[in-house]
Amino acid sequence: MSIEVKRLRKRFGRMEVLRGVDLAFATGRTTAIVGPNAAGKTTLIKAILGLVRPDQGSEVWIDGTRVTGESGYRERIGYMPQAARFPPHLTGREVLSVLCRLRGAKDPNLELVDLLGLEPHLDKRVGALSGGSRQKLNAVVATMFRPAVLVLDEPTAGLDPRASAIFKDHLAKATGAGATVLLTSHIVSELEDLAEDLVFLVEGQVRFHGPVDDLKAQAGEAKLERVLARLLEPSP
């Protein structure tokens, strides 16, 4: 499922958050969207999800269809926010059941329930779950409808090392099957493990977009952490 943004601009009052961003995200690859605070990362993601309306003249295309307020394309997108917001009075099992009924899904992909060891906790109310268990439920919800696009915001936050490794393997399997993954994370090791491509935003503009290996070669560094540190250095 292809994603393109063309001349993407977004202003909130006097603040111009995105300034003519042009991007095309490769199908079957994981792209990290990184940059300093207030670079426009969240606004870019929200524009792709249809949660923010771009300014006039901007375009967002999903699988060859221009996004103009129509929400049907979202059925093929799985979104994993940094902090899950599920009704606290429902159990995890009820959350999954409600979502399946809303989507009309009769065969959801619940593989992660078993892989992450979530089954024993599904009959607890969401409000009583630990932060790690809520994040596991968050991961299950994002992937359960076999989305062609996965948008992940700090996906392993709160996950223990074993659960984090399992989820990363699951994402690799998804991209291997052709899914497009967009990722934001402050954990550089996570970017090293997952990202094949990288978009670096500064003040609403793209400073780099391409394979991570190309960025490392340009910087003459073997570690992504050092590359990003250089990019974040203030201009002289």
Is the per-residue pLDDT at 69 higher than 70?
no
Where is pLDDT greater, at 106 or 93?
Answer: 93
Residue 231's pLDDT band, with cuts at 50, 70 and 90, is confident
Q: Give residue 235's pLDDT.
A: 60
Residue 130 maps to a domain: no
Residue 126 maps to a domain: no
Residue 175, amino acid: T
Mean pLDDT, the chain, whole residue set: 92
Cα gap 209→92, rounded to integer Å: 38
Cα gap 38→47, rounded to integer Å: 15
Name residue 4's beta-bridge partners. Answer: 24, 61
Counting the structural domains of the chain, the total is: 1
Q: 64 in helix, strand or coil?
A: coil
pLDDT (mean) for 177-185: 94
pLDDT (mean) for 24-51: 92
Residue 98 maps to a domain: no
At 128, give phi and psi (nearest 5°).
Answer: -100, -5
Residue 81 maps to a domain: yes
Residue 50's pLDDT band, with cuts at 50, 70 and 90, is confident
Residue 23's pLDDT band, with cuts at 50, 70 and 90, is very high
The percentage of the chain sitting over the pLDDT mark of 90, rounded to a whole number, equals: 74
Q: Give residue 234's pLDDT.
A: 65
Residue 48 maps to a domain: yes
Cα gap 130→210, rounded to integer Å: 38
Q: What is the pLDDT of residues 200-221, one digit of tens each?
A: 999 999 999 999 999 999 999 9
Residue 178 maps to a domain: yes
Residue 104 maps to a domain: no
CATH code, domain carrying 220: 3.40.50.300
At 148, give phi and psi (nearest 5°).
Answer: -80, -20
What domain range is 169 assigned to? 3-86+149-231
